[in-house]
Amino acid sequence: MDFTTGATLQAVCEEKKISIAQAMKEREMTLGNVTEQSVMDRIGVAWKIMKDSATTPIAEPRKSIGGLIGGEAKMMKEYRESGKNLCGEMLSRAMSYAMGVLEVNATMGLIVAAPTAGSSGVVPGALLAYQEVKGVSDEVIYNGILNASALGYLLMRNASVAGAEAGCQAEVGAASAMAASALVEMEGGTPEMCLNAAAMALSNLLGLACDPIAGLVESPCQTRNSIGVANAYTAAEMILAGVKLPVPFDEMAEAMLRVGKSLPFELRETALGGCAGTPTGCALGCKICKK
Ligand code: SF4
């Protein structure tokens, strides 16, 4: 079992009448020569790390090494619990969790790079909030992770998941596409709908610059992860409602790579443009460097 594009993934799923999660699981078993139990055990370990990294900073906020972030996940939780939040229960939780994972990453803690450290909050944030609000089992979430992994694999293979190569659209954009696809599958959507949700999530963040202040994966990376979950939910909901993006996933992945390569180097993780290049971003960069 192998697939190398969204189109071949969809064809395999339709021919065998299986989900994207099942196709990814079978691929792992075949290429890794491992049992189904072994694959699921590894997914279980990843989910535990994801959950810990999403929730620990809410209980124990940490200041990042560069000092630009720390405590935001807890602030988001407290605001949600005040009853004044604008975004609704699931999205507010997801934002808080996604931002928490970035706090763990920025303090050299353990995260799951899904697909990268800078975008590691999106998939756990989206899935954990979904699990808590919908009350679904870990098994449902494991399938979501398998689904997201398939999309991450395709983007890594056929486009890019590196901010230095293709901007933040390739990191937070890819993570958001992975989460959107997983949400659609967990909600009963078809493989075609999952791929279209991923394409829509990519299209919504097309052109997003990579511009970390002081070159640290702290700001705006943390808040970008909360945008990543919002975009994932938005794309998933539109697809589930029957809205379609006319551009197929494979073409959108190619477009993302082309747009990324056409970004000036200042907007590809060099910390010279965007937020990093503002007077305040430069001043913070100098201050952190002198520490
Ligand atoms: S701004 Fe750059 S470093 Fe930060 S999350 Fe996006 S791609 Fe990663």
Q: What's the 3-state SS for the chain?
A: CCCCCHHHHHHHHHHHCCCHHHHHHHHHHHHHCCCHHHHHHHHHHHHHHHHHHHHHHHHCCCCCCCCCCCCHHHHHHHHHHCCCCCCCHHHHHHHHHHHHHHHHHCCCCCCCCCCCCCCCCHHHHHHHHHHHHHCCCHHHHHHHHHHHHHHHHHHHHHCCCCHHHHCHHHCHHHHHHHHHHHHHHHCCCCHHHHHHHHHHHHHHCCCCCECCHHHCCCCCHHHHHHHHHHHHHHHHHHHHCCCCCCCCHHHHHHHHHHHHHHCCHHHECCCCCHHHHCHHHHHHHHHHHHC
Q: Which residue's CA is the closest to the ligand 1 atom numbered 7?
A: 168
Amino acid 291: pLDDT: 72
Q: Does residue 283 belong to any structural domain of this protein?
A: no
Domain residues for the domain of 145 are 6-204+220-259
209 near 267, Cβ under 8 Å?
A: yes
Q: Does residue 277 belong to any structural domain of this protein?
A: no
Q: Does residue 72 belong to any structural domain of this protein?
A: yes
Amino acid 212: pLDDT: 98
Ligand 1, CB cutoff 6 Å, lining residues: 118-119, 163, 168, 171-172, 210-212, 217, 221, 224, 269
Query: What is the Å distance from ligand 1's center to 163 Cα?
Result: 6
Query: What is the Å distance from ligand 1's center to 60 Cα?
Result: 24
Q: Which atom of ligand 1 is nearest to the CA of 209?
A: 1
Q: Does residue 96 belong to any structural domain of this protein?
A: yes
Q: Does residue 289 belong to any structural domain of this protein?
A: no
Amino acid 26: pLDDT: 97
Query: What is the Å distance from ligand 1's center to 120 Cα?
Result: 10
Q: Which regions in the chain score pLDDT beneath 70?
A: 1
> Phi and psi at residue 268, in whole multiples of 5°?
-130, 70
Question: What pTM was estimated for this model as a whole?
Answer: 0.98
Q: Which of 225, 259, 265, 269 to mutate to test the pocket of ligand 1 (most atoms within 8 A of CB)?
A: 269
Q: Which of 101, 171, 259 to mutate to test the pocket of ligand 1 (most atoms within 8 A of CB)?
A: 171
Q: Which residue's CA is the closest to the ligand 1 atom numbered 2?
A: 210
Amino acid 289: pLDDT: 85
Q: Which atom of ligand 1 is nearest to the CA of 119?
A: 5
Q: Does residue 211 belong to any structural domain of this protein?
A: no
Query: What is the Å distance from ligand 1's center to 253 Cα?
Result: 18
Cα–Cα distance measured from residue 186 to residue 191, given in angstroms and rounded to the nearest whole number = 11
Residue 144 CB contacts under 8 Å (≥ 6 apart), including other chains: 21, 127, 130, 182, 183, 185, 186
127 near 144, Cβ under 8 Å?
A: yes
Q: Does residue 184 belong to any structural domain of this protein?
A: yes
Query: What is the Å distance from ligand 1's center to 268 Cα?
Result: 9
Number of domains in the chain: 1
Query: What is the Å distance from ligand 1's center to 14 Cα?
Result: 35
Q: Does residue 181 belong to any structural domain of this protein?
A: yes
Q: Which atom of ligand 1 is nearest to the CA of 275?
A: 1
Query: What is the Å distance from ligand 1's center to 162 Cα?
Result: 9
